[in-house]
Amino acid sequence: MERIPILKMGEFLLVTIQVDMHDQLALTLQDDLTARIVQHRSRGVLIDISALDMVDSFMGRMLGNIAGMASILDAQTVVVGMQPSVAITLVELGLSLPGVRTALNVEKGMELLTTSVRDAF
């Protein structure tokens, strides 16, 4: 499997990360995602990581990078579905995911995006 699918849901994009990321996959995802944000003029990106049992510093940096790139393209990023064990590990590792907002699940994340996109006007 060489790329992670990006699903368009209204004015937002949804990415479900199910596999361990390696360099090339992360780069491909960044390229695809930025291209899709521009193509669909998306205002928000939801990244679901509920399938991940652990998040290492590489993944943490990648999430931060994606949020940064999306932000420059005027789209907001919300990471959803983080497992409790992942949150514990992140704090223990000192990774605070700066610049990345989180929500409990896709529905809450979508509410958060809808509200903050509306407030942006």
Q: At what angle do helices 84-93 and 57-72 cross, to 10 degrees?
A: 90
Q: DSSP assignment of 30-91, as one string?
A: HHHHHHHHHHHT-SEEEEE-TT-S---HHHHHHHHHHHHHHHHTT-EEEEE---HHHHHHHH
Q: Out of 54, 61, 71, 107, which residue is the one contacting its own copies (CB under 8 A)?
A: 107
Are the C-beta atoms of 66 and 77 separated by less than 8 Å? yes
- Closest Cα to residue 81, out of 108, 105, 109? 105
Report the residue number, 16 or 65, with the smaller CB distance to its own copies: 16
**50 near its own copies (CB under 8 A):** yes
Q: Out of 20, 31, 85, 115, which residue is the one contacting its own copies (CB under 8 A)?
A: 20
**81 near its own copies (CB under 8 A):** yes
Kindly indicate which of the ranges 29-37, 47-55, 57-65, 66-74 contains the residues binding its own copies, using the contact rule CB under 8 A. Answer: 47-55
One-letter amino acid at 57 equals S
Q: Which residues contact 53 (CB under 8 A, 6 or more apart)?
A: 83, 85, 86
Q: Out of 55, 66, 106, 112, which residue is the one contacting its own copies (CB under 8 A)?
A: 106
Report the residue number, 35 or 96, with the smaller CB distance to its own copies: 35
How many residues in the shown chain lie near its own copies by CB under 8 A?
A: 20
**27 near its own copies (CB under 8 A):** no
Q: Out of 38, 51, 54, 91, which residue is the one contacting its own copies (CB under 8 A)?
A: 51
